[in-house]
Amino acid sequence: MDLPQAFIDKYQDLLGSASGPFLQALQEPGQKGFRINPLKAQQTPRDLSLTKKVPYGQWGYFGQVAGKGIDHLTGLVYSQEPSAQFVGEVVNAKPGEKILDLAAAPGGKSTHIASQLNGQGLLWTNEIFFARAKILSENIERFGVKNAIVSSMDASDLAKALPAYFDKVLLDAPCSGEGMFRKDHDAIQYWSAYYPTECAMRSHEILESAVKLVRPGGELIYSTCTFAPEEDEQTIAWLVKHYPEFTIEAIDRPAGSGIQAGRPEWADGNPDLARTARLWPQDLPGEGHFVARLKKAELAEDERPVKAPKAQKPSKMSQADVTLMEHFFQESLPGFDLDESRLRTFGDRVFLLPVDCPDLSKTKVLRAGLCLGTLKKNRFEPDHALALAVNPSQAGKQVYDLDAHDDLATYIHGDVINTKDDLQKGFVLMTANGNGLGWAKFVNGQLKNFFPKGLRY
């Protein structure tokens, strides 16, 4: 890998004698990683080993996920570079909190936060670029997240809609990508000596909105995948100077992890910058990252709290449509908690909103909680997202184990399955490795395939 000479000169100057191991590490192959999804009923992968654990976090392991493997298709695992997994650990979401992932695509950090929330609270995950937001929404769906809102909005518009609303806001900032050079060689082509400064200015603009989204007493977590001080320590120094209500909080760096402290001398000398964290490829088996955690001051006695946004009102559904849905859940998913007070329709699709969902009328939303299915003439058709989110043990008799019947390849190919199983006419949850994979409809001894056409192979 040919690194730009200006990049080499820069880090030889910054790192001195330590630059040799750093530059050498960038020439060596990186490590692949993944996380186990604790939201799934069965948490043992079929095709991956759990013997080599990432040295921080509960769910991280080293290994490479197969994109067409059953572990991936059922959302049991999420492929994520090992160093990137540390960011989610710093967020440390607690069940019941309201968390915003502001620049979230493709979804690695959002799914990590969803694991921590464990279905309680609200995960709002946003990506300004719509094409990338669609990928984000697909990954949220595959992971089986029920309590997430996926939006595609500019940070400033989101701050207007939900000021001081979130307990924690994560900004994994768009950056120069220096930390990904050995993983993504194309990133080198975009780099120039001035690019980190350009990226830092863009981060400042986003942070101006991000700080408005944090409630008093809440936290802002800032991360990058670059080594550049302009985007790392210098940006945090700028933040606390311009927004003195934020203070830099210490980040726990587990013993033996190789994670290093931030470098105050690369910014304005503020000693609190040593509370930030740097992940260097010569010190640990992962790529380059920087993470900072900041706390917003509580309201002063003479300050008025920002008015909370209105709650989202459920859609008014006809009794006939409600009856169709109730019949489906009674027959196919009797253990599922269908809270009719949280149902929201978008066209003919029905979503189960997160608990205490805020008003969505001024937001551009792709996914509002869990998509349950589609209302069609005289019938309700369950969505693929529901199959991925439900625990198969809730489905009663309407479950078909593809492994036990040796029909997995047939189902993934999109073919009809003939069976002599004692099933009722209607929708059947298809499972693999103990987790939901999709739907089929049982009629006259045949399971009509509802596996999404875009996923078939």
Token readout for 68 is 């067409």
Residue 107 assigned ligand-binding role: yes
The alpha carbon of 142 is separated from its chain's Cα centroid by a whole number of angstroms, namely 11
- Residue 103 annotated as part of some ligand binding site: yes
Closest CA to 78 of 174, 126, 142, 133: 142
- Residue 219 annotated as part of some ligand binding site: no
The token pair that represents 454 in the structure block = 């875009």
Residue 127 assigned to a binding site: yes
225 catalytic per annotation: yes
Q: Is 297 annotated as a binding residue?
A: no
Under 8 Å between Cβ of 385 and 436? no
CA-to-CA distance for 333 and 352, rounded, in angstroms? 15
205 annotated ligand binder? no
373 among annotated binding-site residues: no
The 3-state secondary structure of 304-369 reads CCCCCCCECCCCCCCHHHHHHHHHHHHHHCCCCCCCHHHEEEECCEEEECCCCCECCCCCCEEEEC
CB 372 within 8 A of CB 314: no
Q: Which residue has the tokens 């790529």?
A: 287
Give ∠ CA 273-274-275 in degrees, rounded to 5. Answer: 85
Spatial distance between the Cα atoms of 192 and 176, rounded to a whole number of angstroms: 9
Q: What b/e string do you get for 413-432 counting C-beta neighbours within 10 Å, with b at 16 or more? A: eeeebebeeebeeebbbbbb
Q: Per the structure block, which two tokens stand in for 340? A: 């009719």
Q: What are phi and psi of 160, to 5 degrees?
A: -70, -35
> Among residues 175, 225, 357, 371, which one is catalytic?
225
Catalytic residue positions, numbered: 225
Binding positions for S-adenosyl-L-methionine are 103-109, 127, 154, 172
